[in-house]
Each structure stands twice: as C-alpha cells, then as structure tokens.
Chains A and B, each alone.
Chain A
C-alpha cells in the first residue's frame, strides 16, 4: 500500500523568505510524485511532478522539489515566498500497481506574512 505524510499541517513564512514543505511517502515500488496547490475556493493546480527522471524537479512559480529515495522524501521548496503563495499544498503519490489512483497527503496550509 502507498501512503503520503505531509509533516506540517501549517507553515507560516514572511514574504521574501524561503519556504520548505515536507513530504514523506511510503511505497513498495517506484512511484510518481506530484505537488499540487489549491488557492481558496479554487481547484488544484499542478506545481511539479517527478517520474523517475531527474531527481531535482523544477516547477512553476519558482518552486522545486527533490526526490530522495533513501529518505523516501519529496520536499517542496521556494527560495523567496510571495504573498500569492498563500494556499493549501498537497503532496500526491501515484502508483501503477494501485491502478494509478492518486494518494493525497493531508495538506499543508501556507500563510505568508508581509
């Protein structure tokens, strides 16, 4: 079975400072991993995805994530937070053996202070 744990339910950062959102996954096989962002009352937007190519993945809006198999982690980072980054972020695992169903982490709510 696959599972995803987002280690922080809430993260608060000041504008212009780095953002780190932590995600650990559990999977018996090589998964595909995604980060999605959801702004209030909106749908989910893909930030980036890992599919067994480069372990450092660059996404939209300055976000990037690094896949570390030894640590079973896929943490999301951004060097400098912007007010528009305030949103809910979901780390997601997809596994072919599980019918390609998405398994979502519990989400991390990001607050950006001016």
Chain B
C-alpha cells in the first residue's frame, strides 16, 4: 500500500482563524514532507521531518507551524494566514529521507482558501 492520506480535503478559513491540516501514512516511512502548490506551478518544499525531527525548514513564515507527533502522522498548524497563502498543500513521505533515489509518495492534498 503506497497511500498517504490528508484531511480535510478542502478548508476555508478567515485570517484570524486557527486550523490544522493532517497527514497520515502507514508505509513505515520515516521521512515526511509538506509542500505548497500554487495554481499552475510545481510544488514548493516547506518542511521535512526525518525520524520525527524537523530537518529542513525552507524559511517558511511562522504562521505555518509543523508538528510530527509520531512516525505516521504529520500536522501543519495554521494561524493568522494571509489570502496569498491560499493553495494546495501536499504531504509526502519517503522511506528514510537519506537517499536521492528514494521515491516520495504524495497525498491528494488539502485545498486551502483564506478569506
């Protein structure tokens, strides 16, 4: 099974709201990723967790706060977002995050709209 699940599928939030995106995988992968994808653009890496520790933060604003409670779960906490943060947020996982040949498996994404 190469499935990564994400909830919710769609999310609408105001600029003062706090919400969370969730990602789950049961492939025994130890690396998990958050990407942001704007319309008609490729995904952009936001965060990488490897063995439940944050290993890469691509200078993402602090209104995005990742959390990795265990090896299967990855959350993205959202607070005081701006309309330009509206995008498709993709989660991915890979076996260890240590090999360039590793395949990243992507979830279906959460479509976020900030009003």
A binds B: yes
List residues of A whose CB falls within 8 A of some B CB.
Answer: 31-32, 34, 36, 41-46, 49, 51-52, 90, 94-96, 99-102, 104-107
Q: Which residues of A contact B92 (CB under 8 A)?
A: 44
- Can you report 8 A-B residue pairs in the complex whose CB atoms are below 8 A from each other? A43-B108, A52-B101, A94-B101, A96-B99, A100-B97, A102-B104, A104-B43, A106-B41
Contact of B101 among A32, A105, A107 (CB under 8 A): A32
Checking A41, A45, A94, A107 against B42 with a beta-carbon cut-off of 8 angstroms, the contacting residue is: A107
A100-B98, A100-B102 are known; give 15 further A-B pairs, CB within 8 A.
A36-B106, A43-B6, A44-B90, A46-B103, A46-B105, A51-B100, A94-B101, A94-B102, A95-B100, A99-B56, A100-B99, A101-B56, A102-B104, A106-B42, A107-B41
With a cutoff of 8 Å between Cβ atoms, the chain B residues found around residue A99 in the complex are 56
Q: Which residue of B lies closest to A90 (CB)?
A: B42
Which residue of A has the minimal Cβ distance to B40?
A107
**Contact call A44/B100, Cβ cutoff below 8 A:** no
B105: which A residues are within 8 A, CB to CB? 46
B107 in the interface (beta carbon within 8 A): yes
Whether the Cβ atoms of A43 and B107 lie closer than 8 Å is yes
Q: Which 4 A-B pairs have the closest CB atoms?
A: A104-B42, A51-B101, A96-B100, A44-B106
In the complex, B45 has a CB within 8 A of chain A: yes
B residues 73-97 with Cβ under 8 Å of A? 90, 92, 97
Q: Which residue of B lies closest to A46 (CB)?
A: B103
Binding site for A on B (CB under 8 A): 4, 6, 40-43, 45, 48, 56, 90, 92, 97-109, 111
List the A residue with the shortest CB-CB distance to B9: A41
Q: Report whether A101 and B45 are in contact in the complex, using a CB–CB cutoff of 8 Å.
A: yes
Q: Knowing A41-B111, A43-B90, A43-B108 touch, does A102 contact B103 (C-beta < 8 A)?
A: no
Residue numbers in A under 8 Å from B102 (CB-CB): 94, 100
- Chain B residues within 8 Å of A42, by CB: 108-109
A59 to B56 Cα, complex, angstroms:
30
Which single member of A46, A51, A52, A102 contacts B45 (CB below 8 Å)? A102
